[in-house]
Amino acid sequence: MGSDSHDDVDDGSQRSDFDDWREDAREEVNKYLPLYKAALEGAGHLMFTKNLMKLLKPKQLEIKNKEGETALQNAVIAGKFEAVKVMVQKNPKLTQMPDNYGWIPLVNAAKYASLKEQKKEIIDYLYTTTRENDVNNRPSTFSGNLGAQIICSIIGAGFYDIAHDMVQRYPELATVTDKNGVTALEMMAGSPQAFLSGTQLSFWERCIYPYIGNHWVCPRPGKSADIEKAAENLKVGIPTR
């Protein structure tokens, strides 16, 4: 009887906790399989993906497979732009979740998105929706090794306009090294197709061609005082003539 009375008092919260647990358990064994299938199948399963999003809670989209990939990562790698949008709209935090290699969806989009015609759309979309800071108030996504990893992967994919915009917004990314010790400037220096012909030098050309002595210089627009600092930053790894 006492137990029944206690249930009457806390029935709402207890039922909610149980329902959450039960739904999460079902998600683990049942729902993630069709979710990944929908992400990989693409257009033919887009309606199924949208309907599935209505049934799932945002937290349930954070479940990962053995490779540490969420359904969003799978949709990104498969090059399924519409599925990517639906999932990010359901849970924006997915853009911050790395796989087992430490790569967030934006990096995987640049490295592996399989459909060339949608790859640029996916990268553009993830670039604008990836939060600058995550929910744990850690350093900006577009800083340090992760920021360098993002911009280097985008340069490697040949999307120089996005890389240019990133450097304009986050100038330090020009010289920060990724996990392999590579900088964005080194990537650009190794990509001659990135430079436009003509007399008007692009920002990247101004970063690479001018130098003082044996040190490369990367002046920021309107920041001529940064030349000496940039030259010091570029001593390591940048070839000299």
pLDDT tens, position by position, 33-85 = 666 666 666 555 777 778 888 888 898 889 888 888 998 998 898 888 988 99
| Res 224 pLDDT > 50 | no
- List pLDDT tens digits, range 162-174: 888 888 888 888 8
pLDDT digits (tens, 9 = 90+) for 103-136: 999 999 998 876 667 888 999 999 999 876 555 5
d(CA 41, CA 36): 9
pLDDT at 10: 41
Return the CATH number of 14-104, one of 3.30.565.10, 1.25.40.20, 3.40.710.10, 1.20.1560.10. 1.25.40.20
* Closest by CA position to 189, among listed 165, 160, 166, 168: 160
Is the Cα torsion angle 21, 23, 26, 30 positive or negative in sign? negative
Q: What is the pLDDT of residue 100?
A: 93
- Determine which of 50-59, 152-161, 184-193 has the lowest per-residue pLDDT on average: 184-193
Which residues are bridge partners to 216 per DSSP? Answer: 211
Q: What is the mean pLDDT of the chain?
A: 71
| Residue in 170, 209, 214, 211 with CA at minimum distance from that of residue 188 | 209
For residue 222, is pLDDT > 70? Answer: no
